[in-house]
Amino acid sequence: MKRTTTRLADGRELLYYDRVDGSPRAAVDRRPLPPVDRSVAPSEIRHHPLLGEPVAYAAHRQARTYHPPADQCPLCPSRGDRLSEIPAESYEVAVFENRFPSFGGDTGRCEVVCFTSEHDASFASLTEEQAALVLHAWTDRTAELLRLPGVTQVYCFENRGVEIGVTLAHPHGQIYGYPYVTPFTRRAIDAVAGHRARTGANLYDEILAAERADGRRVVLETGAWTAFVPHAARWPYEVHLYPRRRVPDLTALDEAARAELPGVYLELLRRFDRIFGPDAPPTPYISGWHQAPVGIGDEARDDFALRLELFTIRRSPGKLKYLAGSESGVGAFVNDVLPEAAADRLREVASGT
């Protein structure tokens, strides 16, 4: 794998990831962009006194690109006079600093990950070799961002579908380097610590062992990975993917897990697209890697479990799961699909069946 680092016209970092060494990535960004003022933080972070949670404000994001036509996509390669965020005429995987970041400067970092130069593709349409290159980019960026003084937690994720709120159709994801421990992660860390204090055991290990022993909600299993619908799933179709050997983040995966992951992940995404039948539009989803923060202490970091959480807000053909009064108002989820039924369906739509 080869990584090439360069700069965009305004000074933002751009990285190309290629499977093999080739011609140098020497294309220059020809856009007349003003330099990024890194002395000014792009967001303000306030603290919610009742919930005990941080809230970020990034008002400049109101001006970000919104549903451009395909011939004006900022994530496609630059060709001729049509200039984009990626100066090269082609690429395999490209990562760059977000032009409209939620965090930046001394308070985190936001990056965009372009999975392929093909505008009409999707992650599920990638080959295993292409997916492995994205995994390499996620791993490399996790390691780099965790070394930045303003980053506490790294979250690699993809929002897919206009129903989720995606404003660019090109297949891409994002990486957030949060300047704090996110609320869901903090609650999980506290739960794991409490369980350790009460029982002396690791809560993640027990969850995985219980799901494998029960078997009703397991949807895919290999030598290194187990994917299951959690016993208390909050979303209509929700899958958690755990490595069988607990590790804190992507950088710690062993070679066996790293080799199997592209095929496992692609199979899960392809099953999601088959949940609602062959004539249904692509399934909207959120997919994200939960990784251990830094600065939480060695014991808490060692007890953390890397995992992928993949879910859709579609509950049946043509119907979405809205977070209305109960969910948005008081955080009390009411699910429309039993986890066991969701797992049955995800097994039914396995490749080759």
Tell me the per-residue pLDDT of 34-91, one tens digit each, with 9 for 90 and over.
999 988 888 999 999 999 999 999 998 988 888 999 999 999 999 999 999 999 999 9
My answer on whether 32 and 120 are in the same domain is yes
- Classify residue 298 as exposed, middle or buried by CB count within 10 Å of its CB (0-12, 13-18, 19+): exposed
Q: Which domain holds residue 229?
A: 184-348
- Give me the pLDDT at residue 64, please: 86
Residue 265 is assigned to a structural domain of this protein = yes
CATH number at residue 272: 3.30.428.10
pLDDT-derived band at 24 (thresholds 50, 70, 90) equals low
> What's the rounded Cα separation, in Å, for the pair 90 and 84?
12
Whether the per-residue pLDDT at 20 is higher than 90: the answer is: no
Q: What is the pLDDT of residues 241-269, one digit of tens each?
A: 999 999 999 999 999 999 999 999 999 99
304-319 burial by CB neighbour count: b if 16+ within 10 A, else e?
bbbbbbbbbbbbeeee
Domain identity same for 81 and 157: yes
- Residue 322 inside a domain? The answer is yes
Residue 268 lies in a domain: yes
Q: Is the same domain home to 158 and 54?
A: yes
Q: Is the pTM of this model over 0.95?
A: yes
Taking residues 210-221, report their average pLDDT.
98
Based on the domain organization, do 24 and 136 belong to the same domain? yes
Catalytic residue among 136, 172, 240, 290: 172
Average pLDDT value over all residues in the chain: 96
Single residue among 130, 157, 178 that ends a domain in this structure: 178
> Is 141 within the bounds of a domain?
yes
Taking CB atoms within 8 Å and a gap of at least 24, the contacts of 328-335 are 333/234, 335/233, 335/234, 335/235, 335/236
The answer to whether residues 61 and 173 belong to one domain is yes
Query: Which residues make beta-bridge pairs with 319?
Result: 316
pLDDT above 80: residue 22: no
Residues 227 and 290 grouped into a single domain = yes
Answer yes or no: do 274 and 309 share one domain.
Answer: yes
Contact 31, 85 (CB under 8 A): no
- pLDDT at 289 > cutoff 70: yes
323 inside domain = yes
Tell me what pLDDT residue 179 has.
Answer: 97
Are both 268 and 168 inside the same structural domain? no
Q: Last residue of a domain, which of 134, 160, 178?
A: 178
Domain membership of residue 74 (yes or no) is: yes
Q: Any idea what DSSP says for residue 94?
A: E
Q: Answer yes or no: are the C-beta atoms of 94 and 16 closer than 8 Å.
A: yes
Pair 107, 247 in one domain: no
pLDDT for residue 305: 98
Q: Which residues does the annotation place in the binding site for Zn(2+)?
A: 73, 76, 119, 170
Residues 97 and 173 in one domain: yes
pLDDT of 234 reads 98
Q: How many domains does the chain have?
A: 2
Q: In 3D, which of 62, 148, 55, 47 has the Cα closest to residue 105? A: 148
pLDDT above 70 coverage of the chain, percent? 99
Active site residue 172: yes
Are both 196 and 136 inside the same structural domain? no
Amino acid making up residue 195: H
Return the C-alpha torsion angle 349, 350, 351, 353, nearest 10: -70
Is 10 found in the same domain as 138? yes
* Range 192-198 average pLDDT: 98
pLDDT of residue 92: 97
Q: Compute the average pLDDT of residues 212-227.
A: 98
Please report the pLDDT score of residue 38 as a whole number: 87
Sequence letter at residue 224: A
What is the rounded end-to-end Cα distance, in angstroms, of the chain?
A: 34
pLDDT range class, residue 23, cuts 50, 70, 90: low
Please report which confidence band the pLDDT of residue 21 belongs to, taking 50, 70 and 90 as the band edges. Answer: confident
Q: By the 8 A CB rule, do 295 and 152 touch?
A: yes
Last residue of a domain, one of 138, 162, 178: 178
> For position 198, what pLDDT does the model report?
98
Q: Looking at the domain assignment, is residue 353 inside a domain?
A: no
Average pLDDT over residues 143-157: 97
- Is residue 97 one of the residues assigned to a domain? yes
pLDDT at position 317 over 90: yes
Gyration radius from the chain CA atoms: 20
